[in-house]
């Protein structure tokens, strides 16, 4: 009988910290874009109404996603250590092979950068 395989999950706090710094950087850029869109909508006879709606929508979605991620981070509690080796192996197997899917925060942040570029070229 061969021993069961062991999976070691490496989790680096510096990596998570870097990801959160990147998210905050995008959020900081989203705030002025949100206000620029609102200002453009409130301006009398303002042109570029479609761009203003895009600015407000993308910035609001990005800030909402950041708030959701922060709420999820705050809600996480550390799991108690597993005593049984077989339970620990079953726990790590269920998460080690799952595909994470698209990171929608990065998709929205990329869209925000495109909208910012369009905004800058329209000035």
Residues 123, 96: Cα–Cα separation, whole Å: 48
Q: Which residues contact 91 (CB under 8 A, 6 or more apart)?
A: 82
3-state secondary structure of 108: helix
Q: Sign of dihedral through CA atoms 71, 77, 78, 79?
A: negative
pLDDT tens, residue by residue, 51-89: 999 999 999 999 999 999 888 888 764 444 444 444 444
Among 76, 75, 67, CA closest to 11: 76
Q: 46 falls in which pLDDT band (50, 70, 90)?
A: low
Q: Are 29 and 55 in contact (CB under 8 A)?
A: no
Instruction: Write down the H helix ranges in the chain.
Output: 13-42, 49-75, 85-96, 104-122
pTM: 0.68
What average pLDDT does this structure show over 23-46? 88
18-22, 33-37, 88-92: least confident range: 88-92
Angle, alpha carbons 11-78-69 (nearest 5°): 75
């Amino acid at each position: 009988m061969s021993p069961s395989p062991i999976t070691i999950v490496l989790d680096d706090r510096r990596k998570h910290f870097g990801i959160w710094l990147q998210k905050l950087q995008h959020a900081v850029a989203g705030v002025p874009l949100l206000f620029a869109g609102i200002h453009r909508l409130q301006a009398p006879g303002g042109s570029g109404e479609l761009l203003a709606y895009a600015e407000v929508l993308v910035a609001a979605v990005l800030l909402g996603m950041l708030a959701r991620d922060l709420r999820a981070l705050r809600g996480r509690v550390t799991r108690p250590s597993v005593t049984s080796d077989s339970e620990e192996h079953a726990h790590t197997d269920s998460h080690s092979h799952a595909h994470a899917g698209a990171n929608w925060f990065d998709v929205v942040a990329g869209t925000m950068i495109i909208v910012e570029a369009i905004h800058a070229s329209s000035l």
